[in-house]
Amino acid sequence: MLCSPALAYPVKFANEGDVPDDLKDTIVDRLPEEPKAESELHARRQARRATKIVTGVLNAYGYFDPVIMRAVDGEGENAAPYLNIDPGPQFVVAELRIRYQGDFAPLSDIQDSTRATLGLQPGQPAVAAEVIDQERQIGAALRTAGYPYAEVTSRDVIGDKDAKTISVRYNVQSGPRVVLGEFVYPDGLRTKDKYLQKINPMESGQIFDPSEMALYNSRLAETRIFERSLAKLSDEPSGTTEDGAQIRDVNMLLTERDRHTLTLGAGFDTAEGFGVDAELLRRNLIGMGDLLIGKARIAEREIGLDVVWRRPNELGYGKGITYFASAFDERTDAFDQQTAKIGLGVEVIKGPQFQYGFGADARYIRQTGATVRRDFQTVSLNGSVQIDRSDSILDPRKGWRASGRVKPTYAISGDGPDVFYTRAVAEGRYYLPLSPEGRYVAAGRARVGTLVGADAINVPGEDRFFAGGGGSVRGYGFQAIGPFDDDDIPLGGRNLAELSFEGRMRVTDSIGAVAFIDAGSVSDEAYPTFGNLRVGAGIGARYMTPAGPIRLDIATPLNPSDRDEVVQVYISIGQAF
């Protein structure tokens, strides 16, 4: 005997061993929350209500001929409803039919294929949810076959209590089969028709496919050049084909976004000082969905300009070309450096979770140390891959990310040997929610890098490895981890190894707190090691904004050298990793 948790509803099942556990649990869970019966009459009313609920549950599971006996135990204020349930045999499906109504009917082979897609077949249990779900399957099958207006208008169900079966007939309006006509674009668009056609998976003359229409709408949204974008069939046909299908144009409802966006940002840490960033984005420079992005940075250690021209889908959908040029004047503890760079890259986006790319660049670098100035001219190739299985770009709470980059370079230096070397970096990040709502998250990051083919001293400074700072090992200054010369000037190294762990907590929807520990090592060995490992720890606060969290971290080195400060402070936008 079972009892409802809401109120002591004694429920007994005849032949209890033959009743599925999920059916018994559902019946007990569905019994209503009611106060204790005040009288026998009150208990009978409760039993009648319970009988209706139990009958509905049994019918939903395919038990259409149950026997439910209700009674009242006790007298007066001690009265309580009582149910004795015999579900009887579960009915099965005897026949499923599809009847097409209206002015249109699918071709005979499509009728056959639609019937074959049904998941419910004769002889299977007549579960109500599955009987109803066949309507969705019928509609989906017909729309996939080119009938965009297909719908199941009603269903007729006939039960046979003697045979314990039901027969179902679905009444369907298929509507016309549709062949795509012309794609009609609005007048006055800056975006060129040929770009919109390039990302279009459909062609004029093909049978309508709802998945391809949905894919096109998704691609239009992904361009981020439209405030509103929708591709839809025209309300009226423009003609018919020889086999009687309707021809309908595809109307493109498009409203373009403003062409310009200006973004400003700032950051601070005790090692690198204060910095200001400005980004100007111009959409559709040549009307091909392209983006021209200019970034300027003015900081205590760095002044520079970076220009990127992204031409997505230039080589086909998901295959874009990026052109870039930059000029920077950088002052660090290791060196002063002026750099001019030009290059191009190919981006291949296989989806939101996977992309890869390759490219080439050329640089002119003037690097000035304490006593020596060196000029480099470099030519590089590069290849990269990124996998993102996290749940958010700006503030991930679960999942993982991985990336890798390899960059072979030939460097010419008038003041030293010409060298060929390869720089490789791999990084992984993992986010583990510690509570169902994601309020508590454990996050980890590991990064390794190596430089092979040349000694660090013969490699441009920006290609050597350094560690320390807000995006590396917090608690240490920028470039503060690694080999130093006799004058305490950072030299950089041939390998890098870093580990970071964070415990993140959402205090409110907009305020967060973190505790973290970072570790890193840079050396001039051939492969990454932890020989001169430095460890830092600290706490931080996060303020959540639509553009990502604003980050404040305070950290201290746990095994400092004589040159390290006691505390470092970092202010920036975005999570540390």
pTM: 0.73
Number of separate domains in the chain: 4
Q: How many CA atoms lie within 13 A of 360 on its CB side?
A: 3
Residue where one domain finishes, among candidates 142, 173, 204: 173
Segment 341-351 mean pLDDT = 94
The verdict on 8 and 43 lying in the same domain is: yes
In DSSP terms, 366 is beta-bridged to: 338, 375
Cα separation of 22 and 357, whole Å?
Answer: 51
Q: What is the pLDDT of residues 430-471, one digit of tens each?
A: 999 999 888 999 999 999 999 999 988 889 988 999 999 888
Q: What is the pLDDT of residues 412-425, one digit of tens each?
A: 987 778 999 999 99
Report in angstroms the alpha-carbon separations of 411 from 30, 362, 403.
Answer: 75, 10, 25
The verdict on 299 and 359 lying in the same domain is: yes
Segment 284-313 mean pLDDT = 93
Cα separation of 291 and 260, whole Å?
Answer: 10
- Contacts by residues 222-227 (CB-CB < 8 Å, ≥ 24 positions apart): 223/199, 223/289, 223/312, 224/257, 224/283, 225/191, 225/256, 225/257, 225/283, 225/284, 225/289, 226/254, 226/255, 226/256, 226/257, 227/255, 227/256, 227/257
Segment 23-43 mean pLDDT = 81
At residue 477, the 3 state secondary structure works out as coil
The verdict on 39 and 78 lying in the same domain is: yes
CATH of the domain at 15: 3.10.20
Cα separation of 380 and 358, whole Å?
Answer: 11
Segment 107-119 mean pLDDT = 90
Q: What is the pLDDT of residues 84-106, one digit of tens each?
A: 888 889 999 999 999 999 889 89
10 Å CB burial of residue 372 (0-12, 13-18, 19+) is exposed
The verdict on 472 and 393 lying in the same domain is: yes
Cα separation of 58 and 88, whole Å?
Answer: 10
SS3 track for 532-565 = CCEEEEEEEEEECCCCCCEEEEEEEECCCCCCCC
Q: How confident is the model at residue 81 (pLDDT cuts 50, 70, 90)?
A: confident
Q: What is the DSSP string of 70-87?
A: EEEESSGGG-EEEEEEE-
Residue where one domain finishes, among candidates 241, 256, 271: 256
Q: Residue 243 is encoded by which pair of tokens?
A: 């086999």
Mean pLDDT comparison of 104-108, 353-357, 573-577, highest-scoring range: 353-357
The verdict on 326 and 395 lying in the same domain is: yes
Domain that holds residue 57: 2-86
State the residue for tokens 């919109």.
Answer: 196
Residue 453: Cβ within 10 Å count: 15
Taking Cα atoms as reference points, which of 79, 78, 117, 75 lies closest to residue 96? Answer: 117
Residue 162: Cβ within 10 Å count: 7
8 A C-beta contact, residue 204 and residue 212: no
Mean pLDDT of the chain: 90
Range from 233-237, 306-310, 319-323, 559-563 carrying the lowest mean pLDDT: 559-563
The verdict on 372 and 423 lying in the same domain is: yes
Segment 110-118 mean pLDDT = 90
The verdict on 308 and 455 lying in the same domain is: yes
SS3 track for 513-531 = EEEEEEEEEEECCCCCCCC
Segment 105-116 mean pLDDT = 91
10 Å CB burial of residue 277 (0-12, 13-18, 19+) is middle
Segment 500-524 mean pLDDT = 95
Range from 69-83, 297-311, 464-478 carrying the lowest mean pLDDT: 69-83
Range from 69-78, 186-195, 213-222 carrying the lowest mean pLDDT: 69-78
The verdict on 55 and 121 lying in the same domain is: no
- CA 217, distance to chain mean position in Å, is 18
CATH of the domain at 105: 3.10.20.310
The verdict on 371 and 274 lying in the same domain is: yes
Cα separation of 68 and 493, whole Å?
Answer: 81
* Per-residue confidence (pLDDT) for residue 8, from 0 to 100: 46
Cα separation of 498 and 469, whole Å?
Answer: 12
The verdict on 45 and 97 lying in the same domain is: no
Cα separation of 132 and 62, whole Å?
Answer: 12
* Per-residue confidence (pLDDT) for residue 93, from 0 to 100: 94
Longest dimension (CA), the chain: 107
Angle in degrees, CA 553, 554, 555, rounded to 5: 115
At residue 268, the 3 state secondary structure works out as strand
The verdict on 487 and 410 lying in the same domain is: yes
Angle in degrees, CA 121, 122, 127, rounded to 5: 70
SS3 track for 418-459 = CEEEEEEEEEEEEEEECCCCCCEEEEEEEEEEEEECCCHHHC
Residue where one domain finishes, among candidates 56, 86, 116: 86
At residue 46, the 3 state secondary structure works out as helix
Percent share of the chain, pLDDT over 90:
63
Q: Is 484 left (phi over 0), alpha (psi -120 to 50) or beta?
A: beta
Cα separation of 192 and 215, whole Å?
Answer: 20
Cα separation of 168 and 162, whole Å?
Answer: 17
Q: Residue 96 is encoded by which pair of tokens?
A: 């499923």
Sign of the alpha-carbon dihedral angle for 367, 360, 496, 501: positive
The verdict on 271 and 409 lying in the same domain is: yes
Q: What is the pLDDT of residues 473-510, one digit of tens each?
A: 999 988 899 898 888 888 889 999 999 999 999 999 89
10 Å CB burial of residue 536 (0-12, 13-18, 19+) is buried
Buried b (16+ CB within 10 A) or exposed e, 412-438: ebeeeeebebebebbbebbbebeeeeb
Model confidence at 234: pLDDT above 50: yes
